[in-house]
Amino acid sequence: MKQNLALFDLDNTLLAGDSDYNWSLFLISEGLLDAKRHHERNEQFYQDYKNGNLDIYKFLEFQLKPLSQHSVAFLDELHLKYMDKVIRPMMTQKAQDLVNKHKAQGDLCLVITATNSFVTKPIATAYGIDHLIGTDPEMVDGKYTGAVSGVPSFQAGKVTRINQWLAERGQSLNDFTTSYFYSDSHNDLPLMKLVTNPVAVDADETLMKYAKQKEWPQISLR
């Protein structure tokens, strides 16, 4: 039997909230970032993302810099606290049920997110999803540099990254008779247009209109 492919966006899709935006707020609450300066910039970047005009490289410079200021061991400890305090309350039963349904069908499941893989890998794991494509922070000599490695998995970058990932497995999108992509954001339209079964999840206004026009399914995981 041929395997199907199930792709999941993370922020505001599987999660009832945004792990990237909240990571900055969490670092502020832990006293690790200057509250006023970082909160204002975080808000602006989040607004740009929602408006579809985010400069991904400027954002990543802002978002990845704190990783370069601490050891990996310290960051891993910090992330455990972040998971318990911030992320687990955002994980919905409906989202878990959807993931479980695809896993039970034997589908190849993958989280594909613009948020960096340091923040998102433990979240994908918590949902029971083994595969993750996130924006990869660069590491040199076992330490984060604050730079990005490779293509950010944002907008058309998600198409590039999924094609690369599948090629490494000796596969392509066309190998799957059925491919799903669940997302809330119009930023994900480049990839949504390529799968056989795009699904709008708690969609933003732009995606909602587009999904309606194309008669794509619209669901809520809240």
| Sequence spans of domains, the chain | 5-219
Give the other-Cβ count within 10 Å of 70's Cβ.
16
User: Can 18 be counted among the known catalytic residues?
Assistant: no
- As a whole number, mean pLDDT of residues 75-81 equals 97
Among 9, 20, 107, 184, the one annotated catalytic:
9
Judged against a pLDDT cut of 80, whether residue 200 lies above it is answered with: yes
User: What single letter denotes the amino acid at residue 197?
Assistant: N
Q: Domain spanning 5-219 has what CATH number?
A: 3.40.50.1000
Q: Hey, is 13 helix, strand or coil?
A: helix
Task: Report the predicted TM-score, pTM, of the whole model to 2 decimal places.
Answer: 0.95
**Max mean pLDDT range (54-58, 62-66, 126-130):** 126-130
What's the confidence (pLDDT) of residue 1? 67
9 is catalytic: yes
- Tokens representing 8 are 């999941």
- Measured distance CA(10)–CA(18) in Å, rounded: 8
Sheet (strand 197-201) strand order: 143-149, 131-140, 108-116, 5-8, 179-183, 197-201, 218-219
